[in-house]
Amino acid sequence: MIMPNAPFEGARGYQFHEKSIFERGTPGRTGVSLPPLDVPEVDPKKHFGKLARKVAAGLPEVSEPEVTRHFVRLSQYNFSIDTQFYPLGSCTMKFNPKVNEWAARLRGFANLHPYMPESMWQGGLELMARLEDLLADIVGMDHVNLQPAAGAQGELAGLMMIRAYHQSKGRAPKKVLIPDTAHGTNPASCALNGLVAVPFPSGDDGIVDPARVAALIDDDTAAIMITNPNTIGLFERFLPTIAAMIHDKGALVYGDGANLNALMSRARPGDLGVDVMQFNLHKTFTTPHGGGGPGCGPVAFKKLLEPFQPSPTVKRNSQGDQTACYFLDYDRPQSIGRLRSFVGNFGMMVRAYAYIREMGAEGLKAATDLAVLNANYVRAAIGDDYPVAFDALCMHEVIVSDKLIQKETGIKTLDVAKRLIDFGFHPPTVYFPLVVAGAMMIEPTETESKETIDQFIAAMKQIAQEARENPDKLREAPTTTRIGRLDEARAARKPRLRWLPEPDVAAE
Ligand SMILES: *Cc1c(COP(=O)(O)O)cnc(C)c1O
């Protein structure tokens, strides 16, 4: 058996060996020294009636070192971009510069309170206005609204704006054309917005074929929703032609802009005919993400959609007095309304702004070029073992399949992904996009060094070799983690969160 991690730096798999904090401690133990009570003790039942707890909250009673160690260990268990290579396709897990954190923690930003009068947070409003302008410029759009709190909410906002636009013209078309290479959130956003997703297959070369779109457009078409680069990592070359056809029918083009890491300073969705799109600041513009939050998914749009954008918007009052130049405009009768409390996730806006200013146009171009180069480097290096789905230059991510290995050895994508854990790499996105059987979607990002990517390539090749030499052993991976292969469906639906030294399945 090949040593699991000999040649791979920092590769020890994941280690999880700890009771939950609720199972630690002793009644009466405490981590803080409280002064004696200097007010009369009261009976909560008397004061709060039914609202009072019947039993104690069951909080952990632990000492300060126990608490500290618990949280430090939790932070260490966390597989993150700060610890290892994280090529999770479509998620752009790139390094987030620490200077962004410095900026977000500046007291003037961090201590802002959303209920302050506008005159007291002019700097915050100005940062938002400036970020809107920078983002609009990066994608060639007329306006940006920063409110949506995630990419998917940005999609929802954009589709709501499209619907409001049609309604303002006295129309109510229902269909949204969505190619099979779109991100999974696209049809979901349609359904949430009362529109009907009309899926269709892309062409044989993996991109949308204008002829197929032409055959689908009719008077009930509200929009087309295109992810570019698409989820196969290919650039939608015919987008301008498709946009012209869509516009001819009075419909609009939604561009899923989550994958901007492949386009910045090279191509602008606005120039390609997109009318409205979302950004994923938490992907392209380096704000930490994962584990469910926070996100920031601004929408960018052309002039014709301006009246419908979420409310409020940040406005500059040019004739007003200098002390209160910026204000929030709530007077927006045609707006789709508010999507988020206050102005959205402000801290993420500070990080994105810091990143863009630090990079400059040249820096963003270099990031795009390196992201695309790195993905193509991986494509060329592992292609013999893991054939690419479409034999073309890819953008910021490469989609390969288990076709060859499975045929030769019976080893599947899931086995490869699990084995990567032993080598200390986060597995790529697997079995997505659905149009590629046994897909592995690898997005190295621009922030990884050649040495790191070479190690990943070496691991992928070694796994292919292991598959040929000892497939049964490979099916046991991961072997360096405390828990090996889980029944993943069961682990998600019936999680067992208690520490049990011996697996005690019968007791559940
Ligand atoms: C990540 C992603 C989304 C969804 O973004 P969230 O912030 O996770 O809601 C949508 N489309 C594409 C192409 C993506 O990669």
The answer to whether residues 193 and 127 belong to one domain is yes
**Strands 429-430, 439-442: parallel, antiparallel or unpaired by DSSP?**
antiparallel
Q: Is the pTM of this model over 0.75?
A: yes
Does ligand 1 lie within 6 Å of residue 257's CB atom? no
pLDDT value at residue 76: 75
Owner of token pair 């938002």: 128
pLDDT value at residue 73: 81
Does ligand 1 lie within 6 Å of residue 150's CB atom? yes
The answer to whether residues 223 and 284 belong to one domain is yes
Q: Is the dihedral of CA 132, 242, 368, 85 positive or negative?
A: positive
pLDDT value at residue 159: 97
Give kind and range of the element (H or E) at residue 216. Answer: helix 210-216
pLDDT value at residue 497: 73
CA 490 to ligand 1 centroid distance, Å: 26
Residue 42 · residue 52 · CB < 8 Å: no
pLDDT value at residue 390: 86
The answer to whether residues 113 and 66 belong to one domain is no
> Which residue owns the Cα nearest ligand 1 atom 1?
91
Looking at the domain assignment, is residue 397 inside a domain? no
pLDDT value at residue 508: 42
The answer to whether residues 180 and 235 belong to one domain is yes
Looking at the domain assignment, is residue 90 inside a domain? no
Q: Among 303, 327, 356, give the residue marking a domain's end.
A: 356
Residue 307 · residue 377 · CB < 8 Å: no
Can you read off the two tokens belonging to residue 79?
């597989």
Looking at the domain assignment, is residue 171 inside a domain? yes
Helix (H, G, I), strand (E, B) or coil at 252: strand
Looking at the domain assignment, is residue 50 inside a domain? yes
Does ligand 1 lie within 6 Å of residue 413's CB atom? no
Which CATH number is 127's domain given?
3.40.640.10
Nearest to 193 by CA among 148, 228, 158, 227: 158
Does ligand 1 lie within 6 Å of residue 181's CB atom? no
Residue 463 · residue 416 · CB < 8 Å: yes
Nearest to 368 by CA among 359, 357, 378: 359
Q: Among 356, 390, 424, give the residue marking a domain's end.
A: 356
The answer to whether residues 262 and 161 belong to one domain is yes
Helix (H, G, I), strand (E, B) or coil at 442: strand
Helices (H), 470-495: 471-474, 488-493
Looking at the domain assignment, is residue 51 inside a domain? yes
Structural domain span for residue 190:
99-356
pLDDT value at residue 504: 47
Looking at the domain assignment, is residue 373 inside a domain? no
Q: Among 43, 76, 109, give the residue marking a domain's end.
A: 76
The answer to whether residues 68 and 113 belong to one domain is no
The answer to whether residues 199 and 324 belong to one domain is yes
The answer to whether residues 46 and 179 belong to one domain is no
Does ligand 1 lie within 6 Å of residue 256's CB atom? yes
The answer to whether residues 213 and 269 belong to one domain is yes
pLDDT value at residue 499: 61
The answer to whether residues 127 and 196 belong to one domain is yes
**Which stretches of the chain drop beneath a pLDDT of 50?**
1-3, 5, 504-508
Question: How many domains are there within the chain?
Answer: 2
Looking at the domain assignment, is residue 387 inside a domain? no
Burial label, 21 (beta-carbon count in 10 A; 0-12, 13-18, 19+): middle
Owner of token pair 């029944």: 487
pLDDT value at residue 318: 74
Can you read off the two tokens belonging to residue 330?
């709530």
